[in-house]
Amino acid sequence: MADLIARNLSVEAGKATLVRDASFRLARGELVALLGPNGAGKTSLLRASLGLEKRASGDALLDGTDSEKLSPMQRARRVAYLPQQRPLAWPNTVRDVVALGRFAYGAAPGRLSAEDADAVERAIKLCDLGSFVDRQADTLSGGELARVHCARAFAAGAPLLIADEPVAALDPRHQFRIMDMIRGFVDEGGGALVVLHDIALAARYADRMIWMKDAQIVADGPPAETLSEERMADIYGVRAKVSGNSVEIEGAI
Amino acid sequence: MSERFLVPGLVAASVVAIFAACLLGSTPLAADRVLAAFLGGADVGDRLVVWQIRLPRAIAAFVTGAALGISGAALQGLLRNPLAEPGVLGVSASASLLATFSLYYGLAALSPWILPLSAIAGALAATALIALAAIRTRSVVTLILIGVGLSSFSGAAMSLLMNLAPNPFSLSDMINWMLGSVANRSFQELGLAAPFLLAGTIILLVSRRGLSALTLGEEAASGVGLNLRNQRILTVLGAGLATGGSVGLAGAIGFVGIVAPHIIRPFVKHDPARSLIPSALLAGLILVMADIGVRLMPTTNELKLGVVAALIGAPAFVWIAMRRRTLNG
């Protein structure tokens, strides 16, 4: 059983409280969308639950072990993390970038075991990168690059995936393609926690929605239960029409 | 494919260059006489020239270059910037400042270990400062500015020491360390630098895999399983030891650590980890050839190796900087 359980997490930076008393659970077989306006504390919550950011209080268990006590390699084998900022320092080939996903297994680009090479090939196929594996990553479009980063995360073969705005700045088609890949990962038994700003996209793909505002989790449940016109007004300060899983935003309040 | 022949090719070229360095000089020796001297034959004069003068000098040039090349490649990987280099970051200047300092106060006369150790202390202090700043700032421009500051400070402090130099002999000693030279190096001096060069190189090679992960940026690198703190410490320690060892041997020689990795990178698919060994070999080769040039140049006073390296390397640095697209600062 692989899961991530955060209990009463708080994160502070100086005097500001970035996350207050947040609890959630991510298990295999579910796609969870984490929603909230800019500055609500989504990224801090993710980082703190992964053990990458210092917590003021609370704890987070990855498969029953405190994530702060795991070594980076142990953590990377249990959960793949796709941060919001995804700079590439060098013009590596696409295959080498994907191969970096195998770092936690002792692999390095150009030095992959049979098992590593196999995982890399599968990720490349899954994200449809076959036609440009040997291209340098700095020659790719934003959409192609986003798929490369997804492949890198999938190559790790971890049961859980945490992705911070994986579809930011992508055209609609690429947004759907990326979400389809994550959905496919979940359908095969993975668990994914994804930060999204497109509510319609989140409602369409997510099994569960976690809503954050002012450093706190204010709601956690299936779209049918948590997505409402009142919630849109409360969380984002927008007028919206909600019917079933579809949302239409009409303007700021 | 080209990758497979890279290292063997560079090793062969380095051996040929070091051999050539034994042939050429004020009195050229024929290849058969050098070979005979290597094997212990030949007459005493030839053996003296080869074993006491030319071979240690060529090897000193090679290991100095190799240490700077591997340090440059590793620092570039750590800071994710092709402009990072011991010289540019002020590491070499700080090392030669402390080396000069130990000479000036006669500390170096106490024990032959003092000079290399002071150079290493200077290199480690500067590298650690750069690495600390790298945690606080994401901008590499800031780091290079800090390097400029360190270099200027070391330069000023060294000028001060030169102003106060008690006699022309210590003055010329200091100029040697400031400008960098491998003239008159013996196997004894090589032996003193060797443990540090070796330790630094081993640390950099053992920890090189993490440099590949850093390609993804620090956040994602720790996400794929890199222990960021340990990586920083090891790279800083390794580059500090290797650079300090090289300054202890030859003084401050700049820009080799930037040029060699830049040429190597396309051959290793821009993977920082795989660039370390070929960068070291190429930088060693460059310095051996530059030193042959220095020795053959018909000038009354021999040019300093560091001056030649800067004359070639500094324009290359400017060229790389101007061609660089600002990807992430």
Cβ atoms of residues B211 and B80 within 8 Å: no
| C-alpha–C-alpha distance, residues A55 and A53, integer Å | 6
Torsion angle in degrees (nearest 10) through CA of A214, A215, A219, A220: 150
Q: Of B254, B257, B316, B233, whose CA–CA distance to B96 is shortest?
A: B254
Residues in chain B: 329
Cβ atoms of residues B256 and B287 within 8 Å: yes
Chain-chain contact of B222 with A97 (C-beta, under 8 angstroms): no
| C-alpha–C-alpha distance, residues B80 and B211, integer Å | 9
Cα dist. B326→A173, B82, B260, B262 in Å? Answer: 29, 12, 21, 17
Chain-chain contact of A100 with B209 (C-beta, under 8 angstroms): no
B168/A156: higher pLDDT: A156
ipTM: 0.90
Locus of tokens 């030891």: B241
Nearest beta carbon to residue B225 from set A72, A109, A110: A72
Q: A81 to chain B: nearest residue by CA?
A: B223
| C-alpha–C-alpha distance, residues A160 and A75, integer Å | 10
pLDDT at B126 over 70: yes
Residue A60 pairs in a beta bridge with A6
Task: Chain A: give the shortest CA distance to residue B218, in Å.
Answer: 9
Nearest beta carbon to residue A96 from set B209, B226, B271: B271
Structure tokens at B109: 């006369």
Cβ atoms of residues A104 and B224 within 8 Å: yes
Contact residues, chain B, for A152 at CB < 8 Å: 216, 224
Residue B99 φ/ψ, nearest 5 degrees: -60, -45
Q: What is the pLDDT of residues B270-318, one digit of tens each?
A: 999 999 999 999 999 999 999 999 888 887 788 889 888 888 888 888 8
pLDDT at A121 over 60: yes
3-class SS letters over B82-95: CCCCCCCCCHHHHH
How many structural domains are present in chain A? 1
Structure tokens at B208: 């090189």
Q: What is the pLDDT of residues B127-145, one digit of tens each?
A: 888 888 877 776 667 877 8
Q: Of B206, B210, B258, whose CA–CA distance to B232 is shortest?
A: B210
Hey, which residues 60-89 in chain B have their CB within 8 Å of chain A?
Answer: 80-81
Ranges of each domain in chain B: 2-323
Locus of tokens 């070391």: B154
Q: Output the average pLDDT for chain A.
A: 93
Residue A205 φ/ψ, nearest 5 degrees: -100, -25
- Residue B105's pLDDT is 80
3-class SS letters over chain A: CCEEEEEEEEEEECCEEEEEEEEEEEECCCEEEEECCCCCCHHHHHHHHHCCCCCCEEEEEECCEECCCCCHHHHHHHEEEECCCCCCCCCCEHHHHHHHHHHHHCCECCECCHHHHHHHHHHHHHCCCHHHCCCEHHHCCHHHHHHHHHHHHHHCCCCEEEEECCCCCCCHHHHHHHHHHHHHHHHCCCEEEEECCCHHHHHHHCCEEEEEECCEEEEEECHHHHCCHHHHHHHHCEEEEEECCEEEEEEEC
Chain-chain contact of A87 with B274 (C-beta, under 8 angstroms): no
- Residue B138's pLDDT is 64
Structure tokens at B214: 């850093």
- Residue B329's pLDDT is 40
Interface residue ranges in chain A relative to chain B, Cβ cutoff 8 Å = 50, 52, 71-73, 75-77, 80-83, 85-93, 96-97, 100-101, 103-104, 108-110, 136, 138, 152, 156
Torsion angle in degrees (nearest 10) through CA of B103, B108, B110, B116: 160
Alpha helices in B49-113 (DSSP H): 55-79, 91-104
Single pTM value for the model: 0.90
Chain-chain contact of A109 with B269 (C-beta, under 8 angstroms): yes
- Residue B183's pLDDT is 86
- Residue B21's pLDDT is 92
Domain that holds residue A58: 3-252
Structure tokens at B281: 């070999």
**Rounded (5°) CA angle B127-B227-B86:** 20
Q: Across residues B247-265, what is the average pLDDT? A: 91
Helix (H, G, I), strand (E, B) or coil at B232: helix
A81/B184: higher pLDDT: A81
Q: What is the pLDDT of residues A64-76, one digit of tens each?
A: 999 999 999 999 9
- Residue A5's pLDDT is 96
3-class SS letters over A222-253: CHHHHCCHHHHHHHHCEEEEEECCEEEEEEEC
Q: Of B248, B234, B154, whose CA–CA distance to B199 is shortest?
A: B234
Chain-chain contact of B271 with A71 (C-beta, under 8 angstroms): no
CATH for B2-323, options being 1.10.10.60, 1.10.3470.10, 3.40.50.2300, 1.10.357.10 = 1.10.3470.10
CATH number, domain containing residue A190: 3.40.50.300
- Residue B270's pLDDT is 93
pLDDT band for position B1 (50/70/90)? very low
Q: B272 to chain A: nearest residue by CA?
A: A90
pLDDT at B327 over 60: no
Q: Across residues B196-212, what is the average pLDDT? A: 96
Neighbours of B146 (CB within 10 A): 19
Q: What is the pLDDT of residues B65-116, one digit of tens each?
A: 999 999 999 999 998 888 888 888 889 889 989 988 888 887 878 888 888 8
Structure tokens at A141: 């479009």
Give me the amino acid identity at B11.
Answer: V
| C-alpha–C-alpha distance, residues A248 and A232, integer Å | 10
Nearest beta carbon to residue B223 from set A71, A81, A96: A81
Hey, which residues 196-225 in chain B have their CB within 8 Å of chain A?
Answer: 209, 212-217, 219-220, 222-225
Phi-psi category of residue A153: left, alpha or beta, with phi > 0 → left and psi -120 to 50 → alpha? alpha
Q: What is the pLDDT of residues A188-228, one digit of tens each?
A: 999 999 999 999 999 999 999 999 999 999 999 999 999 99
Nearest beta carbon to residue A76 from set B217, B225, B274: B225
Nearest beta carbon to residue B270 from set A75, A91, A156: A91
Q: Output the average pLDDT for chain B.
A: 87
- Tell whether B134 is within 8 A of chain A (Cβ): no
Q: What is the pLDDT of residues B23-76, one digit of tens each?
A: 987 778 888 888 888 887 778 888 888 888 899 999 999 999 999 999 999 999
Q: Say how many CB pairs under 8 Å bridge A and B.
A: 97
Nearest beta carbon to residue A87 from set B213, B265, B328: B328
Beta strand ranges found along chain B (DSSP E): none
Least trusted range by pLDDT, from A99-113, A126-140, A147-161, B315-329 = B315-329
